[in-house]
Amino acid sequence: KAGVTQTPRYLIKTRGQQVTLSCSPISGHRSVSWYQQTPGQGLQFLFEYFSETQRNKGNFPGRFSGRQFSNSRSEMNVSTLELGDSALYLCASSLGGRMNTEAFFGQGTRLTVV
Amino acid sequence: GENVEQHPSTLSVQEGDSAVIKCTYSDSASNYFPWYKQELGKGPQLIIDIRSNVGEKKDQRIAVTLNKTAKHFSLHITETQPEDSAVYFCAASSNAGGTSYGKLTFGQGTILTVHP
């Protein structure tokens, strides 16, 4: 069974640009959550999608957005990049639903903003 | 919202010793507590989890205990091996819906080093 796949693995962008990251969940999983990981702030929740609907959102500015497609694949977008957006972006997939189920992470996308 | 505190931030042990990492949480509605291991250049890997209706769970050399009254849970690794060296994260979540959906609140992580 394939795991969670994130693309690309590495990105270098310039301040002011925008970026789109992609996540393919484990087959059969309908929930995709996104996290930002930095040395200073640790792992912070960005948002969660289930059946193409955003069910939950963390405390990040509106420059951070996402979407989910009918095949459960998800993308997140960051507009008007700032230096502080440099981080490892992780997505996690789970079965979803009301009961908490195991969340499995991808390898992440390392974003560097210069 | 939920807050998870994790200690210690670094832990150094000799091969064969035991390692214990402790976490406390603030939200009494939290009912699911996973532990993740993250190796350099990789995403977090789920190693064990526990739900609030269980006090202890064991999987080979790894065990997790939960004290709901005190709101703390711990990871125990016995007979440590050099390949156990990694960053370990505890997390908490609830299934209350709304602002809980898909959200894991993580501790700050523990860097475990196992010396041969």
Percent with pLDDT over 70 in chain A: 97
Q: Looking at beta carbons, which pairs linking A20-24 to residues 24 or more positions away fall under 8 Å? A: A20/A75, A20/A76, A20/A77, A21/A75, A21/A76, A21/A77, A21/A78, A21/A89, A21/A91, A21/A109, A21/A111, A22/A73, A22/A74, A22/A75, A23/A73, A23/A74, A23/A75, A23/A76, A23/A91, A23/A93, A23/A106, A24/A73
Residue B22, pLDDT > 90, answer: yes
pLDDT at residue number B94: 86
pLDDT, tens only, B59-80: 999 999 999 999 999 999 999 9
A33, A56, A105: residue with CB nearest B99 = A56
B38 — pLDDT class (breaks 50, 70, 90):
very high
pLDDT at residue number A98: 67
Cβ-based contacts of B109 with chain A (< 8 Å):
42
pLDDT at residue number A1: 65
C-beta atoms of A33 and B94 within 8 A: no
B53 — pLDDT class (breaks 50, 70, 90):
confident
A48, A90, A94: residue with CB nearest B43 = A90
